[in-house]
C-alpha cells in the first residue's frame, strides 16, 4: 500500500487556516521534542565534573537517547500505518515530557541514562510520523515550505533546550534546568493536541515488513539515508564537544554563556524554510551541494581561537546542517512509494549517525582536541558532499508519488 497525495481540493495549501494550524502544531511538537532531546548537550561538562566522567562517557547522555530513538523509529512508523498518525504523535509528546521531569530527579548517572534511553523510545513517535503526515495532508506545491517550517521548529527546540539549561544551571543547578525544560515541553504537547487538524487523508493499512525492505532497494534512497547519517554525525559531534572547548582555556566561558551560544540554532531556523523554498523552485541536488560547502567553511572558521570567528563558524555549520537535512528528508518523502517507512528509514540512519558519530567524535576530542574533531567532522561532511554529487545521475523513482525536483 502507498501513501497517496491528497486530492488538490482536500490538501492544505499555504495560506489556508488548516495549513497554519498544521504548521503551528508541528512547530510546537518539533520544539518540544528537540528541546528535550538535546537540552543535556551543554550539560556534558557538568556531568563529567559531577559524576567523575570522561567527555566520551558524559556524551552517553546524548548517545543513549538518540540510539534508542533510532531503534524505535521504524517500529513506530509501521504502527502509525495501523493506528494513525495523530495518536502516535500525541502519545510521543506527552510521554517525552513526563520522562523529562523524571530525568530531573535521577539519583545517579546510571539511572539518568536509563531514563534518557526510555525518553529516546518515546521521542521517536514524532519524527517517525511527522513527515508522512505532511506528505498526506499538505498540497505538493506547499510541501517544501511546510517541511522547512517543521524542521525550523526542531532547530528552535534544540536552541531553546540548550539556552534554558545553560541559564538555569548557573542559577539553580542542572536538575532544575532539566525540570524547567520538562514543564515547557508539556505545554507544547498540550498546544499540539489543541490545534493539530485530524488526518483527512490517512487510511489504515496492514503492517508489512516487505514494505520496509522495499525502502532499501532504491539506490537513491540509500544514498539519501547515508547523507542523513553523515550530516547528523558531524553536527552532533560539534555541539557535543564545543562546550568542553569553550569552558576551558583560552575561552573560559561560564555555563550560561555556553548555553547562550546555542542561539546559533537560529541560523537553522532561517535556513530550513529558505532551503524548502529553494527546493520548491530549483534543484534539490544543487541546494544540497551548497549546504555541504557552507558547512565546510564554517568548520574552518571554528578552528580559530577568536570567539567571534568560532561563533560565525558555528552559525554557518548550523545553517548548512539544517538546510541539508531539510533537502534530504523532504527528498526521501517525495521519492518513496511508501513515504512513512522511507522517512523512518532515513530517521533511523540519521539518529544512528548522532549516536555513533557523537561517541566516536568524543574519542577524537580526547585524542587530539578540537583539531581532531574538525578533521573528523570535515571528513563526514565531505563524504556527504561526495554522495550528493553522485545524485547527479539519479534516475527518477519508478513509482514516485510526488514530482521530484532533482
User: Residues 108-145: pLDDT tens digits?
Assistant: 999 999 999 999 999 999 987 888 888 888 887 788 78
Name which residue leads in pLDDT, 65 or 3: 65
Q: Is the pLDDT of residue 13 over 80?
A: no
Q: pLDDT value at position 57? A: 93
Name which residue leads in pLDDT, 340 or 164: 164
Q: Is the pLDDT of residue 164 over 70?
A: yes
Confidence bin at 8 (pLDDT 50/70/90)? low
Confidence bin at 215 (pLDDT 50/70/90)? confident
Q: pLDDT value at position 395? A: 59
Q: pLDDT value at position 260? A: 86
Q: pLDDT value at position 382? A: 96
Q: Which span out of 37-51, 158-172, 200-214, 372-386 was modeled with the highest average pLDDT?
A: 372-386
Counting other chains too, the contacts that 139-142 makes at CB distance below 8 Å and 24 or more residues apart are 139/6, 139/8, 139/11, 139/12, 139/13, 139/14, 140/5, 140/11, 140/402, 140/403, 141/13, 141/14, 141/280, 142/12, 142/13, 142/14, 142/19
Report how far residue 307's alpha carbon sits from residue 253's, in angstroms, rounded to the nearest whole number: 10
Please give the share of the chain, as a percent, with pLDDT higher than 70.
Answer: 91
Q: Is the pLDDT of residue 399 over 80?
A: no
What does the pLDDT average to over 221-241?
A: 95
Q: Are 324 and 291 contacting, i.e. CB atoms less than 8 angstroms apart?
A: yes
Report how far residue 42's alpha carbon sits from residue 60's, in angstroms, rounded to the nearest whole number: 13
What does the pLDDT average to over 269-286?
A: 82
For the chain, the structural domain boundaries read 17-197+214-393
306-345 tens-digit pLDDT? 999 999 999 999 999 989 998 998 888 778 777 767 877 8
Confidence bin at 25 (pLDDT 50/70/90)? very high
What does the pLDDT average to over 62-70?
A: 94
Q: pLDDT value at position 139? A: 82
To the nearest whole number, what is the mean pLDDT of the chain? 87
What does the pLDDT average to over 15-35?
A: 89
Q: pLDDT value at position 175? A: 96
Q: What is the DSSP string of 100-148?
A: HHHHTT-SSHHHHHHHHHHHHHHHTHHHHHHHHHHHHHB-HHHHHHHHH
Single pTM value for the model: 0.81
347-383 tens-digit pLDDT? 899 999 999 998 899 999 999 999 999 999 999 999 9
Q: pLDDT value at position 149? A: 80
Q: pLDDT value at position 367? A: 92
CATH superfamily for domain 17-197+214-393: MFS general substrate transporter like domains (1.20.1250.20)
What does the pLDDT average to over 149-177?
A: 87
Q: Is the pLDDT of residue 76 over 50?
A: yes
What does the pLDDT average to over 9-35?
A: 85
Name which residue leads in pLDDT, 353 or 396: 353
Report how far residue 123's alpha carbon sits from residue 231's, in angstroms, rounded to the nearest whole number: 20
Report how far residue 78's alpha carbon sits from residue 188's, in angstroms, rounded to the nearest whole number: 25
Q: Is the pLDDT of residue 403 over 50?
A: no
Of 143-147, 179-183, 239-243, 259-263, minimum mean pLDDT range: 143-147
Cis preceding linkage at 9, omega within 30: no
Q: Is the pLDDT of residue 5 over 70?
A: no
Q: pLDDT value at position 383? A: 96
Q: pLDDT value at position 92? A: 96
Strand partners, 390: none
Q: pLDDT value at position 200? A: 78
Q: Are 234 and 381 contacting, i.e. CB atoms less than 8 angstroms apart?
A: yes
Q: pLDDT value at position 211? A: 66
166-200 tens-digit pLDDT? 899 988 999 999 999 999 999 999 999 999 988 77
Residue 363 cell numbers, joined:
574519542
Amino acid at each position: 500500500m502507498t501513501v497517496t497525495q491528497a486530492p488538490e481540493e482536500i490538501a492544505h495549501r499555504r495560506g489556508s487556516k488548516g495549513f497554519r494550524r498544521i504548521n503551528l502544531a508541528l512547530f510546537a511538537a518539533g520544539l518540544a521534542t528537540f528541546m528535550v532531546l538535546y537540552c543535556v548537550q551543554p550539560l556534558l561538562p557538568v556531568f563529567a565534573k559531577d559524576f567523575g566522567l570522561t567527555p566520551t562517557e558524559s556524551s552517553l547522555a546524548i548517545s543513549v537517547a538518540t540510539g534508542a530513538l533510532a531503534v524505535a523509529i521504524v517500529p513506530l512508523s509501521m504502527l502509525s500505518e495501523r493506528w494513525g498518525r495523530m495518536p502516535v504523535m500525541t502519545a510521543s509528546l506527552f510521554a517525552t515530557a513526563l520522562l523529562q521531569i523524571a530525568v530531573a530527579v535521577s539519583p545517579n548517572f546510571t539511572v539518568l541514562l536509563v531514563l534518557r534511553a526510555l525518553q529516546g523510545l518515546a521521542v521517536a513517535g514524532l519524527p517517525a510520523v511527522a513527515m508522512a503526515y505532511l506528505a498526506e495532508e499538505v498540497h505538493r506545491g506547499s510541501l517544501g515550505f511546510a517541511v522547512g517550517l517543521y524542521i525550523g521548529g526542531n532547530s528552535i527546540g534544540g536552541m531553546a533546550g540548550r539556552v534554558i539549561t545553560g541559564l538555569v544551571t548557573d542559577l539553580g543547578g542542572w536538575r532544575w534546568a532539566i525540570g524547567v525544560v520538562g514543564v515547557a515541553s508539556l505545554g507544547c504537547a498540550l498546544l499540539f493536541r489543541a490545534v493539530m487538524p485530524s488526518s483527512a487523508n490517512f487510511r489504515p493499512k496492514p503492517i508489512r515488513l516487505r514494505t520496509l525492505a522495499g525502502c532499501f532497494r532504491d539506490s537513491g534512497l540509500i544514498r539519501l539515508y547515508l547523507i542523513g547519517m553523515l550530516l547528523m554525525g558531524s553536527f552532533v559531534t560539534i555541539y557535543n564537544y564545543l562546550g568542553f572547548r569553550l569552558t576551558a582555556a583560552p575561552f573560559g566561558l561560564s555555563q550560561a554563556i555556553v548555553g547562550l551560544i546555542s542561539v546559533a540554532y537560529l541560523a537553522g531556523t532561517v535556513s530550513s524554510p529558505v532551503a524548502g523554498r529553494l527546493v520548491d523552485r530549483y534543484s534539490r541536488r544543487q541546494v544540497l551541494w551548497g549546504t555541504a560547502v557552507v558547512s565546510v567553511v564554517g568548520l574552518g572558521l571554528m578552528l580559530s581561537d577568536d570567539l567571534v570567528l568560532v561563533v560565525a563558524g558555528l552559525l554557518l555549520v548550523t545553517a548548512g546542517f539544517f538546510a541539508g537535512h531539510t533537502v534530504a528528508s523532504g527528498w526521501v518523502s517525495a521519492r518513496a512509494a511508501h513515504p512513512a517507512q522511507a522517512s523512518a528509514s532515513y530517521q533511523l540512519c540519521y539518529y544512528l549517525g548522532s549516536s555513533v558519530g557523537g561517541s566516536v567524535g568524543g574519542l577524537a576530542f580526547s585524542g587530539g582536541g578540537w583539531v581532531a574533531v574538525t578533521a573528523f567532522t570535515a571528513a563526514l561532511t565531505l563524504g556527504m558532499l561526495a554522495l550528493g554529487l553522485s545524485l547527479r545521475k539519479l534516475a527518477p523513482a519508478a513509482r514516485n508519488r510526488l514530482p521530484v525536483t532533482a
